[in-house]
Each structure stands twice: as structure tokens, then as C-alpha cells.
């Protein structure tokens, strides 16, 4: 188990040359020692820029980065002692797997015997023990990326920064490597900062997720917190499907997750803490254990209900129903611009 390190970003702002608005707009974030932190957000929202700021590849116009309380804002990348893995594997093509992984150790003047031990250990960690003498071109994409992971952790950096490391892989391989990355994080106990635009990947892997939009972090929280209590429409939409309705006060919206919407006959009586809206069924589709029921609410919004398969009500497309949910399962959120404005401190 390695020593665990914290990363602190304070009021970070970065303009790319000539840009009218910042790629990173006054972001502050604390990453705890040993935490698996994911930056999640749409393309262009600033995830890679913030990761590159931590790595030292991109500078800041304002703000600071600290590791364990030490200010590293002006430290050169190679002095930061951070492991980095990008989407493209960037292995040395003429070196074997062993030589690739040994490279950062050789550069640091580690002894031959120690190199032998450490490379073996990380090869086992990424389950490539039998591939030490192959060249990168003799490996699959997934295997190459495992070599890149091994090379990034072999010198025991203070944290591992991963920028869409699974982005170039097909879905099946992606799922497998996700599990391997989760296992590596558990076994190493190291701080991981992981960039993705794939919400499922973020929910599977992360201790906490920072949701990016337009150079700002909209919300930071555990997967459960973000899913159950999103603070904005943006976060609600980005993490799964929701029913979104206008709230009772101005500038607010009410959201309810599809699994919390029950369907009843239009004349049904409501319980004390139940709320409802009239709706017409636009679609019914089978999704394994659930039926997915598409809805058109009376107010014009579209919605979705997930009900356990079996269809006891014999629902039909075109039918008028009552969409019902309990008060405890609805969340009132502010509009996105109000949340973004409030996040500035
Ligand atoms: N080297 C650069 N020069 C100028 N503008 C840049 C540069 N790199 C990124 N940008 C801009 O900064 C903003 C944030 O980009 P960034 O790559 O950080 O987003 P991202 O969330 O990582 O997106 P993606 O998921 O597509 O990688 C974008 O508007 C992008 O066009």
C-alpha cells in the first residue's frame, strides 16, 4: 500500500490564448488522499484542461494547485511526481513491454535488481506477467493500455491522472478494463483522478464525481448523492433520465426519476404524501426486468416511468393515466445559470 496524497485546487482560472471565455472558470476542488475522483462532463467543458493543470502541462492565469498542502502551481510537470495515462497509449514502439515499464525507473537511476522486482510486480498487477518480452505492436489495444497503466504507476507517483484511458477501446474491453482500473485503485490505494464523458463509467468507478459544464463544476458528490439529489437540471440530465416539470416558484424545476413514477388509472385516489400529474402513454417498451413507459404530461412535458415488468394494469399506448410519485422522491432544483453563479466563491 502506498502513501496517499491530497490534491487541492483553489480558484483556478485558465484562458487559452485569444479565447473570449475561460476554459476553466474559477474552480476550487479538494481531492482527498486515496480518493477516486472523476471529472465528468460534455465535450469541451474543461475536464482535460483541469487535469492538464494538475499535471503541469497547462498553466494558470489565476489560482493555485497544491499537493499535501505544498504549492506546486509553478513546478515543472516532471517534478510533480504524478503518473499520467492518456487515451492514446504512447508506448515506445521499439521497446518491449518490460523495457517500456522499466523506462521511468531507469530514468530515476533505480538499480537493475530493483527494476526487475518492481516491473514484475506491476506486470502482475495488470495481469500481463507472460507478455514482458513482446513489442507493443504484438499486443491488443486493451493490453497496450494496461502496459501504459503499469508504466504510469511503477515509480509509485503521488497520484495517477487518467484522461479517457478507455476511450479508444470497444465496449466489451472497456467494461473489463474498468473493473481492472477499479481493482488497481483498491490494491494501490493511490489517489486517482479520472476524466470521462461516460456517465455509466463515472458511476461505476468513482468515490466522488465532479460534474463539469462550461468551465465550471456544477456539483461534486458521491454517485448516489448526484443521482438522488442533483442540484441542477444539468446534473439531473447528465446522470440518467429524469422527469422534469416546472416548479411552483419562479426559476425552479421539479425532477423525479423514472423508477419513482407510478402509473394509476385516472380516477384513482391519491395517498397523503403523493403528488400526481395527468399523462398520456406515448410508448411502452420492454427493458429486461422493467417496462419503460413514455409519457406526455398534461403540461406538455415528456416523461418516462419505469415499472416492474408484468404490466398488471394492461397499459396501452394512447391511454390516459395518472403519473403518481411520493413527495419524498421529488427534488426541486434551481436553473443551471443560478447554480453556476452560486458555485463561484
Ligand atoms: N490547446 C488549446 N488551445 C485553445 N483552446 C483550447 C485548447 N485546449 C482546449 N481548448 C478549449 O478549452 C475548452 C475546454 O476544453 P477541454 O479539452 O478541457 O474540454 P473537455 O471537457 O476535456 O472536452 P473533451 O471531452 O472533448 O476532451 C474548449 O472550449 C476547448 O475548445
**Is residue 48 lining ligand 1, measured as CB closer than 6 Å?**
yes
Residue 100 phi, psi dihedral angles, 5° rounding: -60, -45
Sheet with 70-71, edge to edge strand ranges? 24-31, 7-14, 62-67, 70-71
Nine-digit cell string for 286: 420492454
Give the gyration radius of the chain's Cα atoms: 24
Our answer on whether the CB atom of 196 is closer than 6 Å to any ligand 1 atom is no
Cα 343 to chain centroid, rounded: 19
Cα–Cα distance between 300 and 243 in angstroms, integer? 12
Interatomic CA distance for residues 341 and 345, integer angstroms: 9
Q: How far is the CA of 225 from the centre of ligand 1 (A)?
A: 27
Place of cell 462532463: 41
Residues 313 and 291: their CA atoms lie apart, in Å, by 12
* ipTM beyond cut 0.90: yes
pLDDT tens series, the chain, 345 aa? 568 999 999 999 999 999 999 999 999 999 999 999 999 999 999 999 999 999 999 999 999 999 999 999 999 998 999 999 987 768 999 999 999 999 999 999 999 999 999 999 999 888 899 999 999 999 988 899 899 999 999 989 999 999 998 887 888 888 888 988 999 899 889 999 999 999 989 999 999 999 999 999 999 999 999 988 888 889 998 888 888 888 777 778 889 999 999 999 998 899 999 999 999 999 998 877 788 999 999 878 889 998 876 666 678 899 999 999 999 999 888 777 776 677 654
Pocket probe mutation, ligand 1, options 14, 15, 16, 196, max atoms within 8 Å of Cβ: 16
Answer whether 217's CB lies under 8 Å from 195's CB: no
Q: Which domains does the chain have, with CATH numbers?
A: 7-233 (3.40.50.300), 242-333 (2.40.50.140)
Q: Hey, is 335 helix, strand or coil?
A: coil
Cα 44 to ligand 1 centre (Å): 5
Is the beta carbon of 5 within 6 A of some atom in ligand 1? no
Q: How far is the CA of 47 from the centre of ligand 1 (A)?
A: 8
Query: In this structure, what C-alpha cell is assigned to residue 114?
Result: 530493483
Amino acid at each position: 500500500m502506498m502513501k496517499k496524497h491530497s490534491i487541492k485546487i483553489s480558484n483556478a482560472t485558465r484562458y487559452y490564448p485569444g479565447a473570449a471565455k475561460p476554459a476553466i472558470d474559477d474552480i476550487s476542488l479538494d481531492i482527498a488522499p486515496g480518493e477516486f475522483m472523476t471529472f465528468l462532463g460534455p465535450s469541451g467543458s474543461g475536464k482535460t484542461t483541469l487535469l492538464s493543470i494538475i499535471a503541469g502541462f497547462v498553466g494558470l492565469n489565476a489560482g493555485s494547485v497544491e499537493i499535501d498542502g505544498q504549492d506546486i502551481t509553478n513546478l515543472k510537470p516532471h517534478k510533480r511526481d504524478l503518473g499520467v495515462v492518456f487515451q492514446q497509449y504512447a508506448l515506445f514502439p521499439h521497446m518491449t513491454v518490460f523495457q517500456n515499464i522499466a523506462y521511468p525507473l531507469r530514468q530515476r537511476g533505480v538499480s537493475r535488481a530493483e527494476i526487475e522486482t518492481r516491473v514484475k510486480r506491476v506486470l502482475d498487477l495488470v495481469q500481463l506477467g507472460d507478455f514482458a518480452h513482446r513489442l507493443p505492436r504484438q499486443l491488443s489495444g486493451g493490453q497496450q493500455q494496461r502496459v501504459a497503466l503499469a508504466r504510469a504507476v511503477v515509480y509509485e507517483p503521488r497520484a495517477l491522472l487518467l484522461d479517457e484511458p478507455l476511450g479508444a477501446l470497444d465496449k466489451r474491453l472497456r467494461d473489463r478494463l474498468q473493473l481492472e482500473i477499479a481493482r488497481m485503485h483498491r490494491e494501490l490505494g493511490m489517489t486517482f483522478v479520472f476524466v470521462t464523458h461516460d456517465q455509466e463509467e463515472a458511476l461505476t468507478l468513482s468515490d466522488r464525481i465532479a460534474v463539469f459544464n462550461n468551465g465550471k463544476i456544477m456539483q461534486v458528490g458521491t454517485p448516489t448523492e448526484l443521482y438522488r439529489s442533483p442540484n441542477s437540471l444539468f446534473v439531473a440530465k447528465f446522470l440518467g433520465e429524469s422527469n422534469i416539470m416546472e416548479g411552483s416558484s419562479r426559476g425552479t424545476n421539479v425532477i423525479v426519476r423514472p423508477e419513482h413514477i407510478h402509473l394509476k388509472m385516472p380516477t384513482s385516489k391519491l395517498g397523503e404524501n403523493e403528488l400526481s400529474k395527468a399523462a398520456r402513454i406515448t410508448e411502452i417498451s420492454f427493458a429486461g426486468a422493467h417496462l419503460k413507459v413514455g409519457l406526455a404530461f398534461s403540461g406538455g412535458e415528456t416523461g418516462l416511468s419505469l415499472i416492474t415488468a408484468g404490466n398488471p394494469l394492461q397499459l396501452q399506448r394512447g391511454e390516459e393515466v395518472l403519473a403518481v410519485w411520493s413527495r419524498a422522491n421529488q427534488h426541486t432544483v434551481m436553473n443551471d445559470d443560478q447554480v453556476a453563479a452560486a458555485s463561484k466563491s
